[in-house]
A and B are shown apart, each in its own frame.
Chain A
Amino acid sequence: MKVGVVRFPGSNCDGDAWHAVVDHLGVDAVYLWHKTASTEGCDVVILPGGFSYGDYLRPGAIARFSPVMSAVVAHARRGGPVLAICNGFQIACEAGLLPGALLRNASLRFVCDTVRLAVQRTDTMFTARYAPGQILRIPVAHGDGRYTADADTLTQLEAEGRVMFRYVDANGEPTSQANPNGALNNIAGIVNAEGNVLGMMPHPERAMDVRLGSADGVALFESLLAKVAA
């Protein structure tokens, strides 16, 4: 099995994603430079966080046209898993892999914090190793994380159970105080209709070790890699 970590000019969580996959889980990985028009036979693609192309125009707007993205979209259309984190989520939305968009945080402030997420589904390739309703502690670091979609899309996402993670308080309630960016319905992460593309603003790859604050991201990578290896 091989994981591809895409690198755009301005990516800055590519190293963390690599570390999570290679050092924590012992899986092979390669970096996929944005000019490479191929996923090089990778079984899983990670679109990492950062500020690709300086967030010029809108986060993700320019990255989606880089050569590697046509290969990533083709990989996704074949059913290949894509884990899109933070800026990766923004890029996936711009590329049409996921519906909706990520807008400037309602507070207008960059938010760098550890938040609580409630796992909404455990019957997916990304969340199989979590317990139903489990509350995770996962870092966020973004200025444009307010998930938005039109009313019909939002209704459809909820009806189809495609919200994977929601920002919640200590009691598991999706309150506005627990919402770091003003995302509609406290949405922190969603999947596409086929269930093979996950986009999320929080950073599971930065929650791999209790000594560094949280290991709640480990089960996400384990779920995904176990599913692909099976």
Chain B
Amino acid sequence: MARYRLSIHISPRRGILDPQGQAVSDALHSLGFPEVRDVRVGRYLVAEVDAATPDAARAQATAMCEKLLANPVTEDFAIAAVEPA
């Protein structure tokens, strides 16, 4: 068993209205970043888990996202990193 640090990104699914992302996009445009396109605001979670291998840790993270961390109706998730903790 080793300890791994998981980085998990959860974001509103493309095609679903994200008013927060839109508000941030509008603010960036008015601050002089007209090149900004399609901002979406999501969540970033860091969790440490004990697992036999990095792949096992990643599988745990995926199961956690499917069960609780992301809403399958409206959100996408990505396991951005699995690193030794």
Contact = CB atoms under 8 A, between A and B. Distances in A.
> Contact size class for A?
20 to 34
B28 interface: no
A146 B12 CA distance: 14
A143 to B, nearest CB: 11
A148 B19 contact: no
A106 B73 CA distance: 17
Given A104-B20, A106-B17, A107-B19, A65 B73 contact: no
Nearest to A150: B73
B74 interface: yes
A57 B69 contact: yes
A182 B17 CA distance: 9
Given A108-B23, A149-B73, A103 B68 contact: no
Given A101-B73, A103-B74, A61 B68 contact: yes
> Contact size class for B?
10 to 19
Main secondary structure of the interface of B (DSSP, over half): mixed
Contacts of A58: 71
B19 A94 contact: no
A100 interface: yes
A224 B49 CA distance: 47
A150 B73 CA distance: 7
A100 B69 CA distance: 16
Main secondary structure of the interface of A (DSSP, over half): loop
Nearest to A151: B15
Contacts of A104: 19-20
B19 A108 contact: yes
Contacts of A100: 73
A61 B71 contact: yes
A92 to B, nearest CB: 13
Interface in A60-116: 61-62, 65, 93-94, 99-101, 103-108
Given A58-B71, A94-B71, A148-B74, A103 B20 contact: no
Residue from the set A99, A100, A104, A149 with the largest chain B CB neighbour count within 10 Å:
A104
Contacts of A107: 19
Closest 4 CB pairs of A and B: A101-B73, A101-B74, A108-B19, A106-B19
22 contacts: A57-B69, A61-B68, A61-B71, A62-B68, A93-B73, A94-B71, A99-B73, A101-B73, A103-B17, A103-B74, A104-B19, A104-B20, A106-B17, A106-B19, A108-B19, A108-B20, A108-B23, A146-B17, A148-B73, A149-B73, A182-B17, A182-B19
